[in-house]
A and B are shown apart, each in its own frame.
Chain A
Amino acid sequence: MSVASRKGLDNSNPLVYESVSQRELTEAEQNDDVVDKFDGREVFDMIRRINDPEHPLTLEELNVVQIDHCEVDDDKNRVVVYYTPTIPHCSMATLIGLAIRVKLLRSLPERFKVDVRIYEGSHVSEAAVNKQLSDKERVAAALENDHLLNVINQCLTIHKK
């Protein structure tokens, strides 16, 4: 998983989307006696502020991640996130998927099986990118690469606005 050279931006003028409003806390969620299961909104909140590798914008602002594309089944310990690259030949697609994956691996309890996949039909190399992202051996090796890990950590650093 190499980081593509940065000569020029893939998508120099991306559409910017509005952020969703803050999650409203319900009474049950504030009650410690109620079991609070993970849901799509919670997973979305974990990944919405990941930075795009190229633009000073978040994945949410670029519409790369969306609430409706975060599927969570707490009982079965499954999380599936579908993300949409800004353009179908985006060379950063694997890197973005890896950043989402790393963020979720760090944020969710270990019991969860996490799948990060390209939203169907939104990228030319969809199958190849999905296969790379689901190969945990290659993901593990990539994360032992200091340069790549730096780039990912930059994507995961939250910038105050």
Chain B
Amino acid sequence: MASLDLVQSLHGHDDRAWSVKWNPAGTILASCGSDTKIILWMEEGGKWSAKVTLTNAHQRTVRTVAWSPTGTYLASCSFDKTICIWKRDETGAFDSIATLEGHENEVKCVAWSISGEYLASCSRDKTVWIWTCEYDDEYDCLSVLHSHTQDVKKLCWSPSEDILVSCSYDNTIKLFKDDGDDWTCVETLSGHTSTVWSVGFDHSGNRLVSCSDDQTIKIWQRLGGEGDGNFGAQGWQCVCTLGGFHDRTIFDVDWNRKNGAIASAGADDSIKIFEEDLDVRDSLREPSFRLSFSVPRAHSQDVNAVSWNPVRPNLLASCSDDGSIKIWNYTQEAR
């Protein structure tokens, strides 16, 4: 039997906790929230505690944080329209080294590309910005993308190439690529019938998972490539829809890149884990996923984010409107 057991409940935010993200080494968990604080949690003797609190960088809610691929930088974005870049020095302390301005409205998400070359941000102002870090920690805006027609909620980069994915209040998911001249939208994925709150890649970069206010989770697959199943279609297609599991908005999904488990969470206070049915895996058929475990009252209020530890794939972090952060241990079903 699979199970998801609570390891520890962490308290440090004075208000709604919006986002949790592990650093690439899996040793630091960063959280942020409506109290404008960013807290870095570390483990010592088997217990997690708040080691660093970053304050005074933002005037309003800190919506999301993101780690650079090396773990040296942390980016935070806020309803105050700015993005803050934090750098870790030799002693392990974090200092704010840059503030990026330009968005006309609340910044909803930031994400670093796998190469570390680009930082992307998105906003209530409907745009996605691509920034480069040139040298001396100077950040320049490379491109402003106007493809979405509404509030852009979340961003993520492919783990294998410089492809950026965004999702929006306009119910769509969009993929962006550098075509040699400028960044352009290369594909629009339609299928969700309301706001798409989050999107994430699997380990290969050939599949995406998304979640929505329409209370479904969708799996998208890049078809027509070598070794892929081809259902007579090209490009990204929805190959699986998981409905009937959450009965309110689903705010976040995270695809574990080590063990393939998908975690989802939302306004019904629950956390659910899905696993692919590998027994029925067949390149000529659409994939099938099943509910592996569910914690109906994971938090006492909405669960806003879930994040798998990249190095210890059994560890899952979550955060909630109740202000708490929780760390969970996932035991996969024996195969």
Complex contacts, B249 vs chain A, CB 8 Å: 134
B195:A131 contact, CB within 8 angstroms = yes
A111:B300 contact, CB within 8 angstroms = yes
B267:A113 contact, CB within 8 angstroms = yes
Interface string of A122-136 (1 = CB under 8 A from B): 000000000100111
Interface string of A75-101 (1 = CB under 8 A from B): 000000000000000000000000000
Identify whether the interface residues of B are mostly helix, strand, loop, or mixed.
loop
Q: Which of A30-38, A52-60, A137-145, A148-156 lies at the interface? A: A137-145
**Cα(A26)–Cα(B112), bound, Å:** 61
A135:B195 contact, CB within 8 angstroms = yes
Shortest CB-to-CB span from A125 to chain B, Å, is 14
From known contacts A131-B194, A134-B249, infer whether A144 and B60 are also in contact, taking CB-CB under 8 Å: yes
B61:A110 contact, CB within 8 angstroms = no
Shortest CB-to-CB span from A85 to chain B, Å, is 22
CB-CB nearest in chain A for B195: A135
A138:B151 contact, CB within 8 angstroms = yes
A-B contact count (CB 8 A): 36
CB-CB nearest in chain A for B63: A137
Complex contacts, B213 vs chain A, CB 8 Å: 131, 134-135
Complex contacts, B202 vs chain A, CB 8 Å: none
Complex contacts, B267 vs chain A, CB 8 Å: 113, 136
Shortest CB-to-CB span from A131 to chain B, Å, is 7
Complex contacts, A136 vs chain B, CB 8 Å: 267, 302
Complex contacts, A141 vs chain B, CB 8 Å: 61, 79, 106, 124
CB-CB nearest in chain A for B60: A144
Interface size class of A (residues with CB under 8 A): 10 to 19
Complex contacts, B192 vs chain A, CB 8 Å: none
Complex contacts, B300 vs chain A, CB 8 Å: 110-111
Q: Which of A23-68 touch B at CB < 8 Å? A: none
A135:B169 contact, CB within 8 angstroms = yes
Complex contacts, B302 vs chain A, CB 8 Å: 136
Q: Which of B125-170 touch A at CB < 8 Å? A: 151, 153, 169
**Cα(A113)–Cα(B302), bound, Å:** 9
Shortest CB-to-CB span from B302 to chain A, Å, is 7
**Cα(A137)–Cα(B302), bound, Å:** 12
**Cα(A134)–Cα(B248), bound, Å:** 11
Shortest CB-to-CB span from A149 to chain B, Å, is 12
B195:A144 contact, CB within 8 angstroms = no
CB-CB nearest in chain A for B16: A140
**Cα(A113)–Cα(B79), bound, Å:** 24
Shortest CB-to-CB span from A63 to chain B, Å, is 29
A113:B106 contact, CB within 8 angstroms = no
**Cα(A138)–Cα(B321), bound, Å:** 15
A138:B301 contact, CB within 8 angstroms = no
**Cα(A23)–Cα(B300), bound, Å:** 31
Interface residues of A (CB under 8 A from B): 110-111, 113, 131, 134-138, 140-141, 144
Interface residues of B (CB under 8 A from A): 16, 34, 60-61, 63, 79, 106, 108, 124, 151, 153, 169, 194-195, 213, 248-249, 267, 300-302, 321-322
Q: Can you list 11 contacts pairing A with B, beta carbon distance less than 8 Å?
A: A110-B300, A110-B301, A113-B248, A131-B195, A134-B213, A136-B267, A137-B63, A140-B61, A140-B79, A141-B106, A144-B79
